Amino acid sequence: MDCTAYRRAPRALWPFPCGLLASGPVPLDLHEWISFEDDTHRRTWVFDATFLRSSWSCIYGSGCQGVYLEDASHLAEGCCSHGAHFIDEADVQTVVLSSARLKKRHWQFKKQGERDGILGEEDGVTTTRLVDGACIFLNRPGFEGGTGCAFHHAAAEWGERKMDLQPDVCWQLPLRLVEDTDEHGYVTSTLREWTRRDWGPGGEEFHWWCTDSSDAFVGSKPVYQYLRDEIVEMIGAKVYAQLVELLERPKWTPLPHPAAKR
């Protein structure tokens, strides 16, 4: 395979890691990446094109096995078995204010929240409090207001975006934006899928995690369209438009997601 033409092209236009594919066996977890420089800031944007072009979709309530050591589909907890970790005080205040708007019809544990508070702590980090082994905002099966996140139900009723009500980590999953700044103040911002390692050491012990299971790659839209609002909130509309132009360029066959291939 002759890779010379691809190596001459700008990195953002490489259709695959050519040298790697030409040199031997393909790694099991091979992803393709797109990168480009920011027009106005000292920043490089890096995107997991393989995941963003994949058919991943949330299958909560439709086969999601949760994040325990064994299949926990019957609990309908999804990735809400642990308290949501807040990223800063603004994140905390968003949830404090939005939780005060929730009614009993939205939130199964409203009484407990009003009585004992909604915040907890894990390893020195502020989190949402746990009730009966899962997030206080997770309505359990049988609740007349509906199973799942109380903020989801309220947002649907109010015609609002759930991301304006929830902890940041909740609406961002399964996306993860990682930002690294070098000693000269230059920033590299990487948008990729949330993996087991992002949960810490315990993530490798999960019985199941959605982004590495073919069960969740059943969406009718690619991720960059399915999660458009979330991505725009994380990177901005201008950068998103540049990303879409590259993801949709003609005569490009992106690498399939490893989980989807399995």
DSSP string, 97-153: HHHHH--TTT-TTHHHHHHH-SEEEETTEEEEPEETTEETTEEPTT-TT-SEEHHHH
pTM of the full predicted structure? 0.86
Residue bearing tokens 């949830």: 95
Which pLDDT does position 242 carry in this prediction?
97
Looking at residue 248, its pLDDT comes to: 95
Q: What is the mean pLDDT of each run of 10 residues along the chain (262 residues)?
A: 40 49 69 94 96 97 94 95 94 97 97 96 93 96 96 97 97 97 97 94 92 96 98 98 95 83 68
- pLDDT reported for residue 206: 93
pLDDT for position 154? 98
Sign of CA dihedral 214, 163, 241, 239: negative
